A and B are shown apart, each in its own frame.
Chain A
Amino acid sequence: QVQLVQSGGGVVQPGRSLRLSCAASGFTFSSYAMHWVRQAPGKGLEWVALISYDGINKYYADSVKGRFTFSRDNSKNTLYMQMNSLRAEDTAIYYCARAYRGNYRDAFDIWGQGTMVTVSS
């Protein structure tokens, strides 16, 4: 079935790095733009980043620009989020999500299960 399975995450000290992964299955991964969305504890949803179907175009929320790098390996059907210079305010559950019809102007129809990132000394 169509699914996104996330891995990575954990507890990290401020200023350190972490990498998240998101493995896709059940659909033609290389045809879809993909997103990361995060949710701080007890808070709402915040869009983090978008990557085009081919990995060439990437867009980031101002809150993570210059620190996070979104990439994909279409041969492995996998997304990656490299998070550097982590801050306490990056503490959140991170979700990967699929653009419904693969386009930028689409809702997010398939979500990963989420992975917790805690930035704390």
Chain B
Amino acid sequence: EIVLTQSPGTLSLSPGERATLSCRASQSVSRSYLAWYQQKPGQAPRLLIYGASNRATGIPDRFSGSGSGTDFTLTISRLEPEDFAVYYCQQYDSSPMYTFGQGTKLEIK
């Protein structure tokens, strides 16, 4: 099973600042089968990034993903008030054993 470890657990930033979220895999994720999701309280997760760096439909370009192998990053270039939420990474390389990271909470400073 591929274990995903996200850091930091909580990130406190202000609107307008840049956010950098990390996701590290216990073994290499081939062909960048890695996704990022955003979840707000009381809502279902929303797909942001797939294939490590491809934005899903309707996702603003302030969201970007990068990385390969075992190290992946989600960057939000300039935080908007609606971006404060919990973010999860997910690998779908070792299907049908899909795993999620434990999440990073992005909170307003």
- Residues of A whose CB lies within 8 Å of any CB of B are 35, 37, 44-47, 50, 59, 95, 100, 104-109, 111-114
Contact = CB atoms under 8 A, between A and B. Distances in A.
User: Chain A: interface secondary structure?
Assistant: strand
Given A105-B92, A105-B95, A108-B35, A46 B100 contact: yes
A20 to B, nearest CB: 14
A111 B44 contact: yes
Contacts of B50: 100, 106-107, 109
Nearest to B102: A44
A108 B88 CA distance: 12
Contacts of A105: 33, 92-93, 95
A44 to B, nearest CB: 5
Nearest to B93: A105
Interface centre among A105, A107, A111, A114 (most CB of B within 10 A): A107
B13 interface: no
B103 A44 contact: yes
B56 interface: yes
Interface of B: 33, 35, 37, 39, 44-47, 50-51, 56-57, 88, 90, 92-93, 95-103
Closest 7 CB pairs of A and B: A59-B96, A107-B35, A107-B50, A111-B44, A47-B98, A104-B95, A45-B100
A45 B45 contact: yes
Contact of A112 (B37, B44, B88): B44
Interface centre among A95, A105, A106, A112 (most CB of B within 10 A): A105
Given A100-B50, A105-B33, A111 B96 contact: no
Contacts of B90: 45, 107-108
B47 A100 contact: yes
Contacts of B99: 47
